[in-house]
Amino acid sequence: MANQDEHFKKVISHAKEYGYIFPSSEIYDGLSAVYDYAQNGAELKKNIREYWWKAMVQMHENIVGIDAAIFMHPTTWKASGHVDAFNDPLIDNKDSKKRYRADVLVEDYAAKIEAKIDKEVAKAEKRFGETFDKEQFLATNGRVKDYQEKADTILKRLGRSLEKEDLADVKALIEELGIADPETGSKNWTDVKQFNLMFGTKLGASADSAMDLYLRPETAQGIFVNFLNVQKTGRMKIPFGIAQTGKAFRNEIVARQFIFRQREFEQMEMQFFVRPGEQKKWYDSWKENRMKWHLSLGMGEENYRFHDHEKLAHYADAATDIEFKFPFGFKELEGIHSRTDFDLSKHEEFSGKKLQYFDPELNESYVPYVVETSIGLDRMFLAVFSNSLQDEELENGTSRIVLKIPAVLAPYKAAVLPLVKKDGLPEIARKIVDDLKWDFMVKYDDKDAVGRRYRRQDAAGTPFCITVDHQTLEDHTVTMRHRDTMEQQRVAIEELRGIVLKETDMRTWLMRMDQMAMNSI
């Protein structure tokens, strides 16, 4: 745990130091859970978005992309259920005046009990060494079984109370467990209340004529309301998908864990419209497809897992999360939901307009079923960034900090470094930058000794350093250094473009998706 916390702190400070993420409006002391993407961060974010867009839209003839407005007619959110049901249970501490999510307080309490199990396992492992059988230990050790039973009972009761909207019981649970304000230790709690997560705003100039609006809490509804427009103008045949990336806003009660949970964030969503009855097949197929997209980035199979939902939202008949091992443990990165015909039917009901598809093969009209894939761009950013940041011990006893961002996503693909600032080397280096900048992001760096420049580019995540030295004057070759292996090779200047493109081109990486085996997940 201590190591995880350490690593997470390093992630946050490195993101700032190397121009990836700044706290929003920092000169005014920032704004809680709102962040700005800096010069390198904006590039990384754009590359992740593009990698997703290519995989979803460009690679699928039957998926098209749109860009709907953030403001939508307010009835949209009545139809979708967000006005009535997009709530989190909150509780205030009367002494500290701090506000918490009541369910999170209980979940954290249960997690602490489960952490005791990990401690028992670690102790036993130490004691028994190689003969230790973890599964048997978990199944037979009395203390461990007690802990697990206690945690399960708490979580089950919480789940039941939330499902029945029995907020008084959630409060009773907090009191029975003696849960205190994590910051002050006070147990003086208010009742638990529902809190709607949507941000309200007004459209219009005068107070009387202004219309109450919401900032969209998800991008999906912009797709549902355009379903028929896209189907007709694009002459789309079912099954087909509509994809979109864009901002969403949620007034999260407790926004923490850096960019993992923000109040303003970006989603990348795709709604796939299918024949009723065929949703299971497409749900399974999108689960596999999306996991392959993740694995194609080479960030380690062991860092992903599916978490199938047992408790389903009222609109879903199947749902799973793709979880990623963040610095604070496995957490949701992407959701895949089989949403039935709930959304389109509700929009039909509230708008009075038909949102049906005439299926020429079946010769009938129906409201299509929907399978959606929904991933947070910021969470994907955090997954990539935290997984890439490594403190590496080197053979010569020194160490280096390196950001091993998959080359396809790296902000700058190469840095060109003249060994010295004389003898015509800077001019050659500048010429190389001018030639390469047509194809990818490349930067020029001539400050400090070349070893320090290598370290700087390692820490910034640049996959290639190209060094121009005196030999270049003689034979037109340069040294190319690879960030991950630190290997150096001598290559002709004319070859540079081809090598960097081969290693960083989206085409090369996307092709890996087809070669992914899914047996191990």
Ligand X SMILES: Nc1ncnc2c1ncn2[C@@H]1O[C@H](COP(=O)(O)OP(=O)(O)OP(=O)(O)O)[C@@H](O)[C@H]1O
Tell me the DSSP string of 103-118.
Answer: HHHHHHHHHHHHHHHH
Nearer to ligand X, 374 or 388 (CB): 374
Q: Could you tell me the smallest distance in angstroms from the CB atom of residue 372 to ligand X? A: 9
Give CA angle at 280 (520, 81), nearest 5°: 110
261 annotated as belonging to a binding site for a ligand: yes
Q: Could you tell me the smallest distance in angstroms from the CB atom of residue 56 to ligand X? A: 15
Q: Could you tell me the smallest distance in angstroms from the CB atom of residue 298 to ligand X? A: 20
504 annotated as belonging to a binding site for a ligand: no
What x-and-dash track marks residues 162-201 binding ligand X by CB under 6 A?
----------------------------------------
378 touches ligand X (CB under 6 A): yes
CA distance 495 to 506: 19
245 touches ligand X (CB under 6 A): no
Total number of residues binding ligand X (CB under 6 A)?
16
Taking CB under 6 A as the binding criterion, the range among 332-340, 356-364, 497-505, 511-519 that sits at the site for ligand X is 332-340
264 annotated as belonging to a binding site for a ligand: yes
Site for ligand X in 199-238 (CB under 6 A): 218
CA distance 477 to 28: 50
328 annotated as belonging to a binding site for a ligand: no
Taking CB under 6 A as the binding criterion, the range among 302-310, 328-336, 344-352, 484-492 that sits at the site for ligand X is 328-336
CA distance 335 to 306: 10
CA distance 106 to 100: 11
Q: Could you tell me the smallest distance in angstroms from the CB atom of residue 478 to ligand X? A: 41
Identify the CA nearest to 71 among candidates 329, 191, 242, 247.
247
CA distance 337 to 364: 26
Q: Could you tell me the smallest distance in angstroms from the CB atom of residue 257 to ligand X? A: 9
197 annotated as belonging to a binding site for a ligand: no
Mark 166-186 as b/e (b = at least 16 C-beta within 10 Å). ebebbbebbeeeebbbeeeee
Q: Could you tell me the smallest distance in angstroms from the CB atom of residue 145 to ligand X? A: 29
301 touches ligand X (CB under 6 A): no
469 touches ligand X (CB under 6 A): no
Taking CB under 6 A as the binding criterion, the range among 122-130, 146-154, 262-270, 349-357 that sits at the site for ligand X is 262-270
CA distance 411 to 408: 9
H/E run at residue 371: strand 369-376
Residues 6+ apart with CB under 8 A from 475: none
Nearer to ligand X, 64 or 220 (CB): 220
250 touches ligand X (CB under 6 A): yes
CA distance 408 to 347: 40
Q: Are 472 and 483 in contact (CB under 8 A)?
A: no
99 annotated as belonging to a binding site for a ligand: no
Identify the CA nearest to 402 among candidates 328, 325, 485, 324.
485
375 annotated as belonging to a binding site for a ligand: yes
250 annotated as belonging to a binding site for a ligand: yes
Nearer to ligand X, 218 or 458 (CB): 218
Q: Are 255 and 263 in contact (CB under 8 A)?
A: yes
CA distance 142 to 322: 33
Please select the residue that binds ligand X; options are 379, 404, 453, 481, rule is CB under 6 A: 379
Q: Are strands 240-249 and 63-65 parallel, antiparallel or unpaired?
A: parallel
Distance of CA 518 to the CA centre of its chain: 21
Taking CB under 6 A as the binding criterion, the range among 235-243, 353-361, 375-383, 398-406 that sits at the site for ligand X is 375-383
377 annotated as belonging to a binding site for a ligand: yes
333 touches ligand X (CB under 6 A): yes
Q: Could you tell me the smallest distance in angstroms from the CB atom of residue 333 to ligand X? A: 6
374 annotated as belonging to a binding site for a ligand: yes
Give CA angle at 473 (467, 475), nearest 5°: 90
Tell me the DSSP string of 9-41.
Answer: HHHHHHHHHTTSEEETTGGGT--TT-EEE-HHH
H/E run at residue 509: helix 506-514
Q: Are 215 and 232 in contact (CB under 8 A)?
A: no
378 annotated as belonging to a binding site for a ligand: yes
Site for ligand X in 355-374 (CB under 6 A): 374
Distance of CA 480 to the CA centre of its chain: 33
269 annotated as belonging to a binding site for a ligand: yes
Q: Could you tell me the smallest distance in angstroms from the CB atom of residue 255 to ligand X? A: 7
Distance of CA 465 to the CA centre of its chain: 29
Site for ligand X in 94-113 (CB under 6 A): none
Please select the residue that binds ligand X; options are 222, 335, 406, 418, rule is CB under 6 A: 335
Q: Could you tell me the smallest distance in angstroms from the CB atom of residue 386 to ligand X? A: 14
Nearer to ligand X, 270 or 414 (CB): 270
Taking CB under 6 A as the binding criterion, the range among 14-22, 258-266, 429-437, 447-455 that sits at the site for ligand X is 258-266
Question: What is the signed CA dihedral for 431, 435, 438, 442, rounded to 10 degrees?
Answer: -60
CA distance 323 to 303: 8
- Tell me which DSSP letter residue 56 carries: I
Nearer to ligand X, 216 or 379 (CB): 379
Please select the residue that binds ligand X; options are 265, 293, 324, 326, rule is CB under 6 A: 265
Q: Are 217 and 248 in contact (CB under 8 A)?
A: yes
261 touches ligand X (CB under 6 A): yes
Residues 6+ apart with CB under 8 A from 156: none
291 annotated as belonging to a binding site for a ligand: no
375 touches ligand X (CB under 6 A): yes
267 touches ligand X (CB under 6 A): yes
Nearer to ligand X, 262 or 340 (CB): 262
88 touches ligand X (CB under 6 A): no
Distance of CA 386 to the CA centre of its chain: 11
List binding-site positions for substrate: 101, 218, 265-269, 372-376
Chain residues that interact with ligand X, rule: CB under 6 A: 218, 250, 252, 261-262, 265, 267, 332-335, 374-376, 378-379
Q: Which residues are annotated as a binding site for ATP?
A: 250-252, 260-265, 332-333, 376-379
